[in-house]
A and B are shown apart, each in its own frame.
Chain A
Amino acid sequence: MVDMTKLGDDAIAAKGWFKSHKFLILRRLSQLGILALFLTGPWFGIWIVKGNLASSLTLDFLPLTDPYVLLQAMLSGVVPETAAIIGVVIVLAFYFLVGGRVYCSWVCPVNMVTDLAAWLRRKLGIRTTSQISRSTRYWMLVLTLILPLVVAGGIIWELVNPVSMMFRGIVFGMGAAWIMVLGIFLFDLIVAKDGWCGHICPVGAFYNLLGSKSLLKVNAVQRQACNDCMECYVICPEPQVIKPALQGEKKGLSPVILSSDCTNCGRCIDICAKDVFSYGGRHAKKIDEYKREVEVNRGVRA
């Protein structure tokens, strides 16, 4: 059992505080930086990015459009403008390469709320579990895509979607949307670990599918060095993705975390005192294979 009060202490001792929080800091900078780009306009009159995550225009030149919301609009019968089509192609290509759920861990503002809830759970030792299945999000995704087809009144998910609601709220005005955000925080804190992002959110499910063949992956490249401290399982928002890569050596499984549930957040890289994990390509060679090759080559030379 991992001692929650000492979670991450090994890594700090081995690598220092900054190196053991590197990707966490970078992710927060990314999430807040994206918000800042949208906010310099309304706050200071310096227009860098206009709009919000649904659709935006950067420096009056680069259009970006969220494929999930556009898909819902198209299902309710919309033919998008050229700018939206260009924007959606760019976004699709980006997440297709870097991993769909990079959206969840590096862009989505709700992630900061649910991470906070998860951190508090660990601090307060809340261990509640719920019966909600991780596949619920796919059912939700199907539901949100069927609703525009069968119910008049358009993109119904966007009436309540907390992801777009929170981002739009910060940029355009929150109204009572903070209740929604608070609701998710309390749900994740009290009802279920990673309840929203890991189980229910259809936005994450969409990006999950989008990045199912993505190139950028976390790789348990030094898995021989693992000392079974289990801290990566505790810190990971989708811990089921780790096991095949970290402990699959005997079964001949790749050390690359192949599951598209992985959000590429890099917390496992940060928290590992033994530096087992690192970012790498999807088709990165197993380090053991690589070592063997080197040895073989040496043998040939000698």
Chain B
Amino acid sequence: MSETERKNEINRRQFLGNMLKTACGVGLVGLGLGAYSKRASSLPADYIRPPGALPEEDFLGACIRCGLCVRDCPYDILFLGEVGDKVATGTPYFVARTGPCEMCEDIPCVVACPTNALDHDLKDIEESRMGLAVLIDQENCIAFHGLRCEVCFNVCPIRNRAITLDMQHNVRSGKHALFIPVVHSDACTGCGLCERACILEEAAIKVFPMHLAKGELGKHYRLGWKEKEKAGKSLVTPDTEHRYNLPEGVRYDLQGEGLIIEGEAEETPFSSNPLDTLNSGFMDK
């Protein structure tokens, strides 16, 4: 091997070695970033995304953290996540208890978004689903104590649809009604006005991100009566008239006061009306 060849060999070796070192280092950084992103991309319960925000995973890919939505919010409720916040750095959120969404009709935050992280297809603010209000503490909500409050019901911008009042009997007093607020997910936008308005020290009604607020039925689960309605007939064995397995001469009829023994009325000397027995002495006289 000549001198220059050996030199080239060493240079090549050095070059490859350095490259390998750099690649390994950067690869490790990549692993770290990947692991960190898993931790950083969970949306905490009290951080609500602006209207039209894509599902969290897509949102984190689409949001370029520019803050234009923050700037165009006329009520200044939006913030960008700072390092150390529980939300992904630089992404917009609001906190319902201190600054809920006022549901502007022209949705300026969505219009400002340059990347569709806030979906521009959202034209009607009532269609937005920022989260879902949940009456989470029935023990402290004063409506359950029979006190008249209904503040959440009254501030709700989707009046009498997102929150309705369910009147129930007040067992404690025996003579009053409870006016229980009930949230309906088909109308609630998650704006958080109810959470801010809640008169408790700590709100009993809270807005949570959708994935935390909603349960989900198993994919395989079918509700028989709905399937029946959809198909126009029962999907399992056709309905047969129910028959009780009772001894001969006995039948069951709820409105006719339950178990009825056929022919019993004729056989017994006593009237079925107890008053007849009590009055019998007077009648003899």
Contacts and interface: CB of A to CB of B under 8 A. Distances in A.
Contacts of B18: 131, 133
B71 A70 contact: no
A176 B82 contact: yes
B89 A159 contact: yes
A104 interface: no
B120 A81 contact: yes
Given A55-B64, A143-B29, A151 B34 contact: yes
B182 interface: no
B58 A77 contact: yes
A143 B22 CA distance: 12
A169 B114 contact: no
A254 interface: no
B-side interface size class: 35 or more
Contacts of B23: 139
A160 interface: yes
Contacts of B33: 143, 147, 156-157, 159-160
A273 B218 CA distance: 78
Contacts of B71: 41, 47, 50-51
Interface in A44-58: 47, 50-52, 54-57
Nearest to B71: A50
A-side interface size class: 35 or more
Interface string A67-87: 001101100111111011001
B interface, over-half SS:
helix
B67 interface: yes
Contacts of B169: none
B68 interface: yes
Contacts of B36: 156, 159-160
Nearest to B54: A78
Contacts of A232: none
A162 to B, nearest CB: 10
Given A50-B71, A81-B113, A140-B29, A56 B66 contact: yes
Contacts, number: 174
Q: Which of B19, B23, B34, B89 has the most CB of A within 10 A?
A: B89
B61 to A, nearest CB: 3
Interface stretch (B37-45, B191-199, B202-210, B277-285): B37-45
A54 B66 contact: yes
A153 interface: yes
B64 A155 contact: yes
A250 B58 CA distance: 57
Given A77-B58, A158-B89, A159-B89, A168 B64 contact: no
A84 to B, nearest CB: 4
A165 B83 contact: yes
A153 B30 contact: no
Contacts of A156: 33-34, 36-37
Contacts of B85: 175
B68 A154 contact: no
A190 B18 CA distance: 22
A180 interface: yes
Interface in A265-283: none
Interface string B77-121: 001111111001110000000000000000000001111110010
8 contacts: A63-B114, A76-B62, A135-B22, A147-B34, A154-B59, A154-B63, A156-B34, A169-B82
Closest 4 CB pairs of A and B: A175-B82, A154-B61, A76-B61, A154-B60
Interface of B: 18-19, 21-23, 25-27, 29-30, 33-34, 36-38, 40-41, 57-68, 70-72, 79-85, 88-90, 112-117, 120
